[in-house]
Structure 1
Amino acid sequence: MDDRDWLILHTLYKEKNITKAGQALYISQPTLTKRLKQIETEFGVKIVNRGIKGVQFTAEGEYLAKRAEELLDIFQITREDIDNFNHYVVGTLRLGVSNFISKYKLPGWLQSFEKQYPDVEFQVETGYSKQIYQMAYNHDIHIGFIRGDYNWPGEKELVFEESLCIASLKPIDMDELPSLPKIDYQTDSLYKHMTDNWWAERYPQPPYVRITVDRGDTCKEMVLNGLGYAILPSLFLKDCPHVHQVPLQTKEGIPLTQKTWMVYHKSVEELNFVKAFIDFIKESVTASSKKHS
């Protein structure tokens, strides 16, 4: 077997479908099926059973699929180490970002970085900051971008800070806020805790939540269509000058803000392509700070 065979097992185990696995690997279904049978012959075991619900892995097949994931990781690390010995900036950079960062920041970063280092490839995982934190902590990714002040044990770099605000298509009287329809969305627990505390300090009753959605972008669109107000980070509203915004403040008059951090373990800097991206982000942060100072 070669690494392509292990990749077939890994992909098929992930997709649980011959057609989808073939599409992911850019090989035809007959070719994949033929190669799978050859792998079964080589090991002398039945790897999968095909049924109405797709492929079902046998006990032996599941064992091989899990070993495939481990071996593919080893192959990848070995390639990265060899490239690193030769001082090449080449490899697959594994990033973890929130959905928010993946839309508003990451595409621009990757576009600029790619111009400097065209041989670096990217593997991007998205999720809530708590999930990204866990992936970075477990070394499942090289670098994570998390929003909120998590207690991170490794290297940590402030990327940017944005204000939180009440956003509405129409002007809002803050005294009437509890009776106005609010659009809520699922978000990180730290962010929700911060805004809930802000509310509790000012109003004796809970907000009138008219609509709840699963993403901040959807929430923003609801606001733009006049369906209610929402509490949103200012970056969401960068392209919406017609939206009325009321920045949130503590009782002491301190602006309520949300910080975004780049987190990683010190050991990943030993890889040239990871170190290059870390330095790139740091330089971007410095340039942005000078621009706005």
Structure 2
Amino acid sequence: MNEKDWQLLTVLYEERNITKTAKKLYLSQPSLTYRIKQLEKEFDITLLHRGNKGITFTSEGEYIVKYAERMIKELRDTHDGLANMSDTLKGTLRLGASSNFAFYELPSILEGFIERHPNIDVQLKTGWSSDIIDQLKEESIHAAFIRGEVKWRGSKILINEEYMSVVSRDKIKLEDLPDLNYIKYHTDPLLKNTFDDWWVKNFDSPAHVSMEVDRIETCKEMVKKGLGYSLMPNISLRGEDHLHTLDMKIDGGKITRSSWLLYKEEMLDLKMIKSLNSFVKKYYHLDG
């Protein structure tokens, strides 16, 4: 059993599907199936059962997957430790970021950071903040850029905060919103709850949803064409969008959305995390 087998097992456990796993690992399905059979032969066990609803791991299979996860972590920690011993700042920096932050903010941050530290390779995963935090807890990533209020017991640095707005191409009045076309987009549960709470506290009738799209960028393009209004954090707005905005308020106060840099305290033992921490603070002109 080797590193490729560890990866195979962990991806298969995540996907629970032979076809998807083979595609993700750039393997043919016969090659993947053959390797599974070889592992079963090596350990004299049955790793999994196949059914109409996908793959089910046996208790022995679950045990082997846990072993594979431990070995992957041990190997990563070894690479990190060896890179940390070098006089040159180098290594693989594994980051996670919420989708909006990754789209609107992170490219410029990474550009500046890599210019300063060209020997650092960056691996990035994006998604919902809740999923990224799970990866941070499991230490499959070193640090995370997260949006919104999150529960985290480790180090947590507030790096940015912006207002939330009603966004439209043409000027509109707040009291007219229930009668206008509302364009919704898929977002994380925390932000959705913020939007829902704001609406309930400001209006007695439901919004007239005319469109539901998967991404905020798609939503913004629809708004720019005058097809309706939407609710957005200001991180997604640029001057060249030429959109009108109304502040979203609850009890007279503007609603804000925060961006955070999260990591476990012990990660600061790694030079590249210390350097990232310092760079981000300078980038956002933070004290301390």
Deviation of 1:250 (Å): 4.7
Q: Secondary structure at the match of 2:205?
A: coil
**Whole-angstrom distance in 2 between the partners of 1:93 and 1:47:** 33
Q: Secondary structure at the match of 2:202?
A: coil
TM-score, normalised via structure 2 length:
0.80
Instruction: Report the equivalent of 1:281.
Output: 280
Deviation of 1:101 (Å): 1.1
One-letter amino acid of the structure 2 residue matched with residue 237 of structure 1 = L
Q: Secondary structure at the match of 1:63?
A: helix
Deviation of 1:187 (Å): 2.7
Instruction: Report the equivalent of 1:265.
Output: 264
TM-score, normalised via structure 1 length:
0.79
1:225 aligns with 2:221: no
Q: Secondary structure at the match of 1:165?
A: strand
**Whole-angstrom distance in 2 between the partners of 1:55 and 1:40:** 15
**Whole-angstrom distance in 2 between the partners of 1:208 and 1:184:** 10
Q: Secondary structure at the match of 1:286?
A: coil
One-letter amino acid of the structure 1 residue matched with residue 71 of structure 2 = L
Is the 1:80–1:90 Cα contact (8 Å) retained in structure 2?
A: no
One-letter amino acid of the structure 2 residue matched with residue 266 of structure 1 = E
Deviation of 1:13 (Å): 4.4
**Whole-angstrom distance in 2 between the partners of 1:135 and 1:236:** 25
Deviation of 1:26 (Å): 5.4
Instruction: Report the equivalent of 1:255.
Output: 254
Deviation of 1:278 (Å): 1.8
Is the 2:73–2:140 Cα contact (8 Å) retained in structure 1?
A: no
1:175 aligns with 2:175: yes
**Whole-angstrom distance in 1 between the partners of 2:101 and 2:85:** 32
Task: Call closer, same or farther: CA 1:64–1:178 in 2, change over 3 Å.
Answer: same
Q: Secondary structure at the match of 2:6?
A: helix
Q: Secondary structure at the match of 1:183?
A: strand
**Whole-angstrom distance in 2 between the partners of 1:36 and 1:98:** 34
Residue correspondences, number: 287
Sequence identity, in percent?
38
**More displaced stretch, 10-19 vs 231-240:** 10-19
Deviation of 1:53 (Å): 8.7
Provide Cα deviations, 1:169-225, integer angstroms capped at 9, x if missing partner.
222122322211212233334433444444344333332223333432232232123
Instruction: Report the equivalent of 1:237.
Output: 237
Is the 1:185–1:215 Cα contact (8 Å) retained in structure 2?
A: yes
**Whole-angstrom distance in 1 between the partners of 2:199 and 2:20:** 47
Is the 1:88–1:272 Cα contact (8 Å) retained in structure 2?
A: no
1:75 aligns with 2:99: no
Deviation of 1:164 (Å): 1.5
Instruction: Report the equivalent of 1:110.
Output: 110
Is the 1:142–1:274 Cα contact (8 Å) retained in structure 2?
A: yes
**Whole-angstrom distance in 2 between the partners of 1:150 and 1:15:** 27
For residues 1-293 of structure 1, the aligned pairs below 5 Å read: 1-14=1-14, 21=21, 24-25=24-25, 38-45=38-45, 47=47, 60-238=60-238, 240-252=240-252, 254-286=253-285
Unaligned runs of 5+ in 2: none
Deviation of 1:25 (Å): 4.5
Deviation of 1:259 (Å): 1.5
**Whole-angstrom distance in 2 between the partners of 1:151 and 1:80:** 27
**Whole-angstrom distance in 2 between the partners of 1:33 and 1:197:** 49
Deviation of 1:150 (Å): 3.1
Deviation of 1:123 (Å): 3.4
RMSD: 3.4
Task: Call closer, same or farther: CA 1:197–1:27 in 2, change over 3 Å.
Answer: closer
**More displaced stretch, 216-225 vs 127-136:** 127-136
**Whole-angstrom distance in 2 between the partners of 1:17 and 1:201:** 45
